[in-house]
Chain A
Amino acid sequence: MKLKLLPKLMMSLTILGIVLTLSLAFFGYHNTKSYLEDMYEYRVTFGAKSIAAMLDLDDVRTILAPGGDQTEAYRRTSALLNQLKREGGISFLSLVSNDADSVTFYIDCNVPEMGDDPADEMPYGTDVLYTDAANGEEDLRKYYDIWECYANGQAVDPPAVTDNSYGYNYTVVAPILDENGRTIAAIQYILDMHDMREHLNSYLYSTLTIALVVVGLSVVAYIMFIRKTVTQPIGRLAEFAKNVTTAGQFNTQGIELKTGDEIEALGNSFNFMLLELDHYIHDLTTMTAEKERISAELDVATHIQSSMLPCIFPAFPERGEFDIYATMNPAKEVGGDFYDFFMVDERHLAIVMADVSGKGVPAALFMVIGKTLIKDHTQSGTDLGSVFSEVNDLLCESNSEGLFITAFEGVLDLMTGEFTFVNAGHEIPFIAKSGEPFAPYKIQAGFVLAGMEEMNYRCGSLNLAPGDKIFQYTDGVTEATDANEQLYGMERLEAVLNRNTGKKPEELLPLIKADIDAFVGEAPQFDDITMLCLEFKHYMRNRSSQPQAD
């Protein structure tokens, strides 16, 4: 990680340093160059004009006249110009007169102390053609410009800049005017700019070198500083984080960063986070295990609950007198519906259908108590009303949660066909006489079980003949709800029952369930759906096996 962050930083810093150095150096170079050029231009122009103005017109005329080089004026003027050249550091200083195509030298200063070669001196009257002197077209044009200025009586301003075999020169030709303002001759003042150029170049090189060295050293020093204070600690943190995540071990020792800045704070936060994460994972593991345990126990509870209901059919294969079938389709969680059937004695069959208010574990536990109590109290020869009264009182004792049970119990005497029943707030059964349709059988309902103590339940009775059927159910059937919040209802139930009057109990219940499913469609099931159907087939014949008769 630190191998990636650091080169990025180095690269960007180096680029920044180079850009900074170059821009500073070239700005300084151009600034100095233009200032120096201004100064030299001024010096050349001013010098040429001054010299042209200081010469005596008569002396000049004398010099220009034929044989002028043998005169006292020539000697005097030449000495003056040579002195000026020496003291002014002028590269070339001459008294000339220009023509349209050539320049004639009258005095050409030559100062051996300044390194001038005496052989280079232009002898008096030397005429040099512009085309000979010029080095190329551009140069030639400058000579013509000079001639134009000369002819107009003007000094060349700014100086003509030539860079040729005569060197890198600033040239000003300042005219010497007579009383009428006409040019009679000119001072040609040339300054070699080679030194200035050298100076500028060395300035540029030294600036660049110094700046590069300084910037380079700064970058290196800064990188080392950054490496020590930033990238190394961050690299350590990154390495640490990588190790932690790779190993998946969050309870390891934390990282120690002693930088005394935000990185140390980051490290500390990271350590804190690791600690918290470890706690969370620990908590989560515990909670998940707990949840799984509860879920597994609930599964077991559901299994126990459903296995408490008689579910092997045919339930009494040896008893031909009746046929019984029951189903329970639980909703999602353990619920409170239950059915039961059992032989009270040889000739009495009991059926129970009940629904505990509420859902979940409390309802399931209450259901177990209720089912056990009812079965336990249903004894041979006991009035069903008193069975429910006793069960009710017992349930009230153990009912701190305010639960209650709606329950229906009936006992069929297989010998006589008498069906005694008791109803504690439960749905009324459907009864079909042999060959007739199912019809709801109105029963006066008692209060729900476990609702209130010391309630009295009254037992009722009716007579069943062979071929008669009883259908009992819980509200999960009639209150099955479709996607439009429509209830399945008694009418639909009665209709499906009567479409299937001829069916045996084990055929009838699946048909009803299918009809409910078709009605409900995709809507979720909220309540247990529990149904029981009993068909009385024929009277019990073997009376001799009965120990007693009612």
Chain B
Amino acid sequence: MNIKLVKRPPSGVELRLEGRLDTSSAPAAQEAFLKVAGEYAQIELNFTELAYVSSAGLRALLVLQKQVNKTGGSLVLTHVSPAIMEVFEMTGFSGILNIQP
């Protein structure tokens, strides 16, 4: 998968995720997430081009959310497709993630 980074000054950033967030791409994505969380306070994950999230992907999102909670920043997910939304709802992630339409 690909991650495109768009800065939202002064302290925000938008990450555009493309492809599949699965077992093979999750470790790299998690590393990228944590790096971004260390540099920016407001993070937006744009899911427009994201096709699939596996349990490994959920784990990467959970680690990011925890990190953001710890540093007192904010994490927003936008443009989540119905299929991925179903995964979030089924796993209860919809309860802990800030998902905006």
Bind each other: yes
* Residues of chain A at the chain B interface (Cβ within 8 Å): 355, 357-359, 402-404, 406, 424-428, 445-448, 451-452, 475, 479, 526
Does B84 sit at the interface, judged by CB under 8 A? no
User: What separation, in Å, do the CA atoms of A403 and B62 have in the docked complex?
Assistant: 9
User: What separation, in Å, do the CA atoms of A216 and B21 have in the docked complex?
Assistant: 83
12 contacting pairs across A/B (C-beta < 8 A): A357-B55, A357-B59, A358-B59, A406-B55, A425-B90, A445-B90, A445-B92, A447-B91, A447-B93, A448-B62, A451-B92, A526-B23
B59, closest chain A residue (CB): A357
Residues of chain A within 8 A (CB-CB) of B56 are 357-358
Q: Are A357 and B95 in contact (CB under 8 A)?
A: no
Q: How many A-B residue pairs have CB under 8 A?
A: 54
Does B58 sit at the interface, judged by CB under 8 A? yes
Q: Which of B55, B58, B96 has the most CB of A within 10 A?
A: B55
Rounded to whole Å, the gap between the CB of B87 and the closest CB of chain A is 9
User: What separation, in Å, do the CA atoms of A135 and B92 have in the docked complex?
Assistant: 131
Does B76 sit at the interface, judged by CB under 8 A? no
Q: Are A446 and B59 in contact (CB under 8 A)?
A: no
User: What separation, in Å, do the CA atoms of A479 and B90 have in the docked complex?
Assistant: 14
Q: Are A445 and B55 in contact (CB under 8 A)?
A: no
Residues of chain B within 8 A (CB-CB) of A358 are 55-56, 59
Query: B38-60, CB under 8 A of A: which get 1 and which 0?
Result: 00000000000000001110110
Residues of chain A within 8 A (CB-CB) of B7 are none
Q: Are B59 and A404 in contact (CB under 8 A)?
A: yes
Q: Are B55 and A355 in contact (CB under 8 A)?
A: yes
User: What separation, in Å, do the CA atoms of A403 and B66 have in the docked complex?
Assistant: 13
Residues of chain A within 8 A (CB-CB) of B96 are 447, 451-452
Residues of chain A within 8 A (CB-CB) of B92 are 424-425, 445-448, 451
Residues of chain B within 8 A (CB-CB) of A428 are 90
Query: B72-95, CB under 8 A of A: which get 1 and which 0?
Result: 000000000000000001111101
Does B63 sit at the interface, judged by CB under 8 A? yes
Q: Which of B56, B91, B96 has the most CB of A within 10 A?
A: B91
Rounded to whole Å, the gap between the CB of A26 and the closest CB of chain B is 81
Q: Are A448 and B93 in contact (CB under 8 A)?
A: yes
User: What separation, in Å, do the CA atoms of A223 and B34 have in the docked complex?
Assistant: 75
Q: Are B90 and A357 in contact (CB under 8 A)?
A: no
Q: Are A445 and B91 in contact (CB under 8 A)?
A: yes
User: What separation, in Å, do the CA atoms of A50 and B48 have in the docked complex?
Assistant: 124
Pick from B23, B63, B91: contact of A406, CB under 8 Å: B91
Residues of chain A within 8 A (CB-CB) of B59 are 357-358, 402-404
Pick from A402, A403, A427, A451: contact of B90, CB under 8 Å: A427
Residues of chain B within 8 A (CB-CB) of A426 are 90-91
Q: Are B66 and A445 in contact (CB under 8 A)?
A: no
Q: Are B66 and A448 in contact (CB under 8 A)?
A: no
Q: A355-B55, A358-B56 are in contact. Are A445 and B62 (CB under 8 A)?
A: no
Q: Which of B59, B63, B66, B89 has the most CB of A within 10 A?
A: B59
User: What separation, in Å, do the CA atoms of A526 and B24 have in the docked complex?
Assistant: 12
Q: Are A404 and B90 in contact (CB under 8 A)?
A: no
Residues of chain B within 8 A (CB-CB) of A447 are 91-93, 95-96
Q: A357-B55, A358-B56 are in contact. Are A425 and B63 (CB under 8 A)?
A: no
User: What separation, in Å, do the CA atoms of A404 and B66 have in the docked complex?
Assistant: 13
Q: A357-B56, A406-B55, A475-B55 are in contact. Are A448 and B91 (CB under 8 A)?
A: yes
Q: Are A357 and B58 in contact (CB under 8 A)?
A: yes
What 3 A-B pairs have minimum CB-CB distances, sorted nearest first?
A425-B91, A447-B92, A357-B55
Q: Are B89 and A445 in contact (CB under 8 A)?
A: yes
Q: A357-B55, A358-B59, A404-B59 are in contact. Are A425 and B93 (CB under 8 A)?
A: yes
Residues of chain B within 8 A (CB-CB) of A446 are 92, 95
Q: List 4 extra interface pairs beyond A357-B59, A448-B62, CB under 8 A.
A: A428-B90, A446-B92, A447-B95, A447-B96
Rounded to whole Å, the gap between the CB of A398 and the closest CB of chain B is 16
User: What separation, in Å, do the CA atoms of A447 and B95 have in the docked complex?
Assistant: 7
User: What separation, in Å, do the CA atoms of A358 and B26 have in the docked complex?
Assistant: 11
Rounded to whole Å, the gap between the CB of B53 and the closest CB of chain A is 12
Residues of chain B within 8 A (CB-CB) of A355 are 55
Rounded to whole Å, the gap between the CB of B85 and the closest CB of chain A is 13
User: What separation, in Å, do the CA atoms of A452 and B59 have in the docked complex?
Assistant: 11
User: What separation, in Å, do the CA atoms of A426 and B89 have in the docked complex?
Assistant: 10
Residues of chain A within 8 A (CB-CB) of B54 are 479
Residues of chain B within 8 A (CB-CB) of A479 are 54
